[in-house]
Chain A
Amino acid sequence: MKKYLASTVAASALALMLGLAPACAEDKLDPNAKQGGAITITYKDDVATLDPAIGYDWQNWSMIKSLFDGLMDYEPGTTNLRPELAESYEISPDGTTFTFKLRKGVKFHNGREMTADDVKYSLDRVTNPKTQSPGAGFFASIKGYEDVAGGKAESLAGVTVVDPSTVKIDLSRPDATFLHVMAINFSHVVPKEEVEKYGADFGKHPVGTGAYKLAEWTLGQRLVFERNAAYWHKGLPYLDKITFEIGQEPIVALLRLQKGEVDVPGDGIPPAKFQEVMADPAQKARVVEGGQLQTGYITMNTTMAPFDNVKVRQAVNMAVNKDRIVKIINNRAVPANQPLPPSMPGYDKNFAGYKYDVEKAKALLGEAGHPDGFETQLFVMNTDPNPRIAQAIQQDLAAIGIKASIQSLAQANVIAAGGDKAGAPMIWSGGMAWIADFPDPSNFYGPILGCGGAVQGGWNWAWYCNKDLDAKAANADSIVDPAKADERYKLWGEVYAKVMEDAPWAPVFNEQRFTMRSPRMAGDDKLYVDPVHIPINYDYVYVNDVQ
């Protein structure tokens, strides 16, 4: 039996096998980091909930990660998996059994030690329909999921507590993304007694094993996180306190940052002030730029004429001037030529894509039987900058004879039109675009390009369904062996290359992230654009003005 050990030493070996930077949970401490200090982060909107089974917006996502831990996690600032509450794990050769050995001496904020029973309880809870978790579907590959989701069972048959520090999870099919699933917030471990004590209000009284604990939550005003002195990862976190001030307009937050009252404006740099900030060298120096697991794209409904003709879709791909669109949004993005964003494993940086070529696009339209173009509709969400982007697309299409009228609607209406087979011929995805749940190429396929998403109310707005490709994707995801990760990414590369050949989308750009921080905030730049912690990785950043 082949085993993949991932203890602290073996993790480095594993990471080397994957061709990634060495991973090591314990030695990740920054030698320059100082313990102590407090920072202030602002947000416009109220924090929804801190229940890891429920929270699913980019604001509470990172907060939950600091209050709770999962069996797996990522090396800070990267998309490289590493064990977290698990000390090590084994995967059976057929890829359907995952055995996690838990770290010893991990305590919840209430002082009780975390055990394998808590892991099982947390997975049972998140999949139970009564919990109403938006993430329940991620666990569909666990044996017994259907029974729990259907209300026929209270407990997942596939999750077994072997002993207090060992949990075994049986899957109904090999799932290469399962370690990622064990790293997403929905799988984070919660203590049963606290969940039962607070019931539906557990999200207001979160108790986890994370680096911080919730010290105060004044509704609509502030949340205060305090350092968890008993955190299992010795030396972390660096900060003593994080205050989240709620209800601050981004523009006001920026003014306060300039006065030194705020350390990170959580909602980012307001678009109206972006150029001003970037034109000022002193301010620009405090902005960290990084990639985002996001792609903005135009979908073309492949079941509607004339977009049922691949040549028409390819022509649209060549007609759109992506560089100009990137300029419209003040260069806050990079042009895209494929569905995957550049920071996603599996992204093919040698992929040429469709070059901007009006003449060739016109020729393709002619070959498709539309030498004079046609009339169509472009749906777009009605908040800035999306209508402006749609107008640019409209002009580009007009140049090859396609007369697209813009339907600028509220987000919910555009999503509804996209989920209706006869709803929208073209949609600009801005404001609703897919942002990955976890850094794995499969996450950009199933719901938005696979047959499973091409259903009423689904997210596959191109209604693109290629059964061969679905089979290829399933095949790629059955390669569970981490040592064969490159082979798997190559397969995914082929899937996306074929998608681009069929051109159900015209990828336009990948948004960049710009995090602004106060001069006193320190730590590696990549912590400020951490792909899974938005805006920043609270556990690893520190301030340089403590003694």
Chain B
Amino acid sequence: MIAYLTRRLIQAAFILLGVSIITFALLYLLPADPVRQIAGRSATPQTVESIRQQLGLDQPFIVQYWRYLTNLLSGDLGRSYIQRSEVTELIVSRLPASLILMVGAILCELAIGLSMGLIAAVKRGSATDQTLMVGSFIGVSAPQFVVGLLLLYVFAVQLGWFPIGGYGTWRHAVLPSLTLGILGAGWYSRMMRSSMIDVLRQDYIRTARAKGLARGAILFRHALPNAILPVVAMIGIDIGLFMSGIVVVESVFGWPGIGQLAWQAIQRVDIPIIMGVTLVSACAIVLGNLLADIVAPFIDPRIKLR
């Protein structure tokens, strides 16, 4: 186990290094000149050059990257070009909001996805099954921007059940969590359905049925725990899905998380923030996958770590 963990962590370090090199190189190759952006349109060429030197942007790529990397190792992600604040401070101040949104989204996708999958599996082949699967297909394929605005319009503007965007109370969190969760719910309902169908075909279920156990007891005590575990083990992998989703969802709902920070930074070509958010997201995805892999054998003994 320890050997496995060590190996995986070393792999993770290399993945993150790779991500940092690729992102840094892509941003370096961008035709936008950050110095011109900082210096503004009335700057003299002299000012432009002086700023370039101060930021070290006149150095070759390797030197710039090396300096970024060494600063990174001491926890310094640099200063935003546009906002002029520490990138670490900006990310740390926005991380709690994104985490709350993720927890909310996980709750939503599990609640919706698992129950839809369960019902569909039990009613396999029926009209209910087909309706639910069409619903899940829509959930998977509907653009989150549209889903978000639709929910906002119906539940916040028309019905007035929830606030129109913003952050603060649990009521603010419902619609964005739901928007982010609907995509995952689509996947989970499909996984849950097949997993449940699989379990319901097992011999021990047939035995339980033969023993005359009540339908509900078979379903909830014997089938569900076995069907649910492999599905739940996927949550770690969802983090990657969330990281792309929060950019859209946070912007629609005015949710002050790192997705919104990234979106603004991309629009303004604020390279240090784009770098910082990319690295933090990459960390989260790598850790999420690692977590999913580590948890899997505990949940499903057929899986072994090697």
- Of the candidates A46, A56, A248, A455, which one forms a contact with B83 in the assembled complex, judged by CB atoms under 8 Å apart? A46
Give 1 or 0 for each of B113-156: 1 = CB within 8 Å of chain A CB: 00000000000000000000000000000000000010010001
The answer to whether B165 and A252 touch across the interface, beta carbons within 8 angstroms, is yes
The answer to whether A220 and B93 touch across the interface, beta carbons within 8 angstroms, is yes
The answer to whether B254 and A252 touch across the interface, beta carbons within 8 angstroms, is yes
- Chain B residues within an 8 Å CB radius of A175: none
B219 at interface, CB cutoff 8 A: no
- Chain A residues within an 8 Å CB radius of B164: 252, 255-256, 259, 261
Q: A129-B50, A245-B166 are in contact. Are A149 and B255 (CB under 8 A)?
A: no
- Chain A residues within an 8 Å CB radius of B41: 134, 447, 459
The answer to whether B157 and A255 touch across the interface, beta carbons within 8 angstroms, is yes
- Chain B residues within an 8 Å CB radius of A247: 167, 250-251, 254-256, 260
Q: What DSSP secondary structure best describes chain A's contact surface?
A: loop
A138 to B47, CA, bound (A): 12
- Of the candidates A129, A134, A259, A410, which one forms a contact with B54 in the assembled complex, judged by CB atoms under 8 Å apart? A129
- Chain B residues within an 8 Å CB radius of A54: 84
- Chain A residues within an 8 Å CB radius of B44: 136-137, 140, 149
A219 at interface, CB cutoff 8 A: yes
- Chain B residues within an 8 Å CB radius of A413: 31-32
A238 to B242, CA, bound (A): 45
- Chain A residues within an 8 Å CB radius of B254: 245-249, 252
A521 at interface, CB cutoff 8 A: no
- Chain A residues within an 8 Å CB radius of B36: 415, 457
The answer to whether A129 and B51 touch across the interface, beta carbons within 8 angstroms, is yes
> For residues 103 through 149 of chain A, which have their beta carbon under 8 Å from a beta carbon of chain B?
129-130, 132, 134-138, 140, 149
- Chain A residues within an 8 Å CB radius of B64: none
> For residues 8 through 51 of chain B, which have their beta carbon under 8 Å from a beta carbon of chain A?
30-33, 36, 38-48, 50-51
A203 to B264, CA, bound (A): 19
B269 at interface, CB cutoff 8 A: yes
Q: A249-B165, A249-B254, A259-B164 are in contact. Are A220 and B261 (CB under 8 A)?
A: yes
B280 CB to closest chain A CB, in angstroms? 15
> For residues 478 through 518 of chain A, which have their beta carbon under 8 Å from a beta carbon of chain B?
none
B89 at interface, CB cutoff 8 A: yes
For B30, the closest partner residue in chain A by CB is A412
A538 to B270, CA, bound (A): 29
For B36, the closest partner residue in chain A by CB is A457
A132 to B48, CA, bound (A): 9
Number of interface residues of A (CB under 8 A): 48
A150 to B50, CA, bound (A): 8
B258 CB to closest chain A CB, in angstroms? 9
A437 at interface, CB cutoff 8 A: yes
- Chain A residues within an 8 Å CB radius of B42: 134-135, 137-138, 437, 447
A49 at interface, CB cutoff 8 A: yes
A200 at interface, CB cutoff 8 A: yes
A399 CB to closest chain B CB, in angstroms? 33
The answer to whether B51 and A132 touch across the interface, beta carbons within 8 angstroms, is yes
A221 at interface, CB cutoff 8 A: yes
The answer to whether A256 and B165 touch across the interface, beta carbons within 8 angstroms, is yes
B244 at interface, CB cutoff 8 A: no
> For residues 59 through 85 of chain B, which have their beta carbon under 8 Å from a beta carbon of chain A?
79, 82-85
B294 at interface, CB cutoff 8 A: no
B222 at interface, CB cutoff 8 A: no
A249 to B263, CA, bound (A): 12
A219 to B95, CA, bound (A): 11
B90 at interface, CB cutoff 8 A: yes
The answer to whether A46 and B47 touch across the interface, beta carbons within 8 angstroms, is no
A206 to B237, CA, bound (A): 43
Q: Would you mind naming 20 contact pairs between A and B with Cβ atoms under 8 Å apart?
A: A46-B261, A129-B54, A134-B38, A134-B42, A135-B42, A150-B46, A151-B50, A203-B84, A219-B90, A219-B94, A220-B97, A220-B256, A221-B167, A247-B255, A252-B164, A410-B31, A413-B31, A416-B31, A455-B45, A457-B48
Tell me the A residues contacting B by CB distance below 8 Å. 45-46, 48-49, 51, 54, 56, 129-130, 132, 134-138, 140, 149-151, 200-201, 203-204, 218-221, 245-249, 251-252, 255-256, 259, 261, 410, 412-413, 415-416, 437, 447, 455, 457, 459
Tell me the B residues contacting A by CB distance below 8 Å. 30-33, 36, 38-48, 50-51, 54, 79, 82-85, 89-90, 93-94, 97, 149, 152, 156-157, 164-167, 250-257, 260-261, 264, 267-269
**Which 7 A-B residue pairs are closest in the complex by CB-CB distance?**
A134-B40, A412-B32, A220-B256, A129-B50, A247-B254, A219-B93, A137-B42
